[in-house]
Structure formats: C-alpha cells, structure tokens
Amino acid sequence: MPSTESDDPRPTGGEASDVLLRRAHELMLTRATWTRGHLARDRHSYPVSPTSSRAVRFCAGGALIRAAADEFNLVVRTSQGDKPVTLGKERALHEAYRRLGIVMVELLAPSERMRVHEERRGDLLIPIFSHRKSAADPWIAEAGETTWESVVHTMNDAKTVTHRTVSFCLNVARAIADVPPTIDQLEE
C-alpha cells in the first residue's frame, strides 16, 4: 500500500519549516558557501541547480530548495536544470520562505517607507507591498504581486546584503517558535 504524507515519520508543519531553515543555514555556514545572482553554483562558480550534486554555493533560496530536496526528497524544477518534480512537503518549503522573507523585510527594509501585508490565496499567504516617499505621504500599494520566494531571492541579491546578514536572518527565522503574524499585525 502506498505511503501517504500522514504516514511519513518526518516532521510536518512548522516543525518541517524549522528543519529546512536549520539545514539551509548549515549549507551557507561560511562566506565561501554563499552566493548571489543564482540559486546555486558549482566549485568553478558556474550556475547549477541547487539540487545538483555539483552545487557547493547557495543563495538563501537555493539553500532552502536544497534543504527540501535533502530532507523531504522534494525536487524543484529550476532554470538551471530540469528534474522531475516530486511534491509532498511543498508547504514546508513555502512556510520556510515565508518566515525568512518576513525576517528579511523586517530587518533589511526601511519600515518608515515600506511595509507588507499578506493575503490568502488558496492555501498560501502572498505578500503585498506598499511604499511611500516620506512619512507624510500616503501608502501606495504595489500594482503587482509577488511571492515570499521572490522576496527572499531579491533580498539575498541586494548589493548591500552580505553573507553575515543572510546568515543572521536565517538564524532569526529559525528562532521564531510559531509562525509569525503578518507584518501589519506586528506594527500595531
């Protein structure tokens, strides 16, 4: 009889995203194992899929994808190499991205000029950004929507962000015991 996700002895829910954040942090432990601009790179600095056995350097998002592949046999299709997609723990991966994204926005974005709230779309929470030029100006919602995955990749690739910053954000995201409230709720 095929095994169902509920028969799986591996962690689920928030516990599973904890596992992914811990593993991602381990993958990016030193400056030499972190990268930007691509999900992962090989030892010659060529871009590769984060699930490739040749991957030795990871951005924050690439490290989460590799952690999901290692921990839950979740293989993700990327532009650097297609592999069959095996789904099963994708919610844990999304939640890990969400937790890390919230921490990155809170720590790295100027809160007086940018904020984010979440809207539920099916089973997922999608970030919606608002910005203003000065404290006296009204908040303007962004026309387009994004994902927490995009937020993590964009923040990782910012020129002012360093390995130390990303590592710190991963540690803070791991330290959050429960799924954090939306950022709007944190401001109240």
pLDDT along the chain (188 residues), means of 10: 43 71 91 93 93 92 89 62 49 84 80 71 71 74 71 88 91 69 42
**CA quadruple 177, 178, 182, 186: dihedral sign:** negative
Q: What is the pLDDT of residue 84?
A: 44
Radius of gyration of the chain (CA): 17
If one counts every other C-beta atom within 10 angstroms of the C-beta of residue 144, the result is 7
Task: Quickly tell me which residue has 């709230």 as its tokens.
Answer: 117
pLDDT for 144 equals 57
Cβ–Cβ < 8 Å for 126, 118: yes
Beta carbons within 8 Å of 26's beta carbon, 6+ residues apart: none
In whole angstroms, give the CA distance from residue 69 to residue 79.
Answer: 16
Burial 97-133 (b: 16+ CB within 10 A, else e): bbbbbbbbbbeebeeeebbbbbeeeeeebebebeeee
Cα 113 versus chain centre, distance: 22
Residue 183's pLDDT is what?
A: 43
Q: Tell me which H or E stretch contains 128.
A: strand 124-131
Q: Which residue has the tokens 């432990």?
A: 29
Alpha carbons 70 and 100: distance in angstroms, whole number:
19
Helix ranges (H only) for the chain are 13-27, 60-72, 90-108, 148-157, 163-175, 183-187
Predicted TM-score (pTM) of the model is 0.74
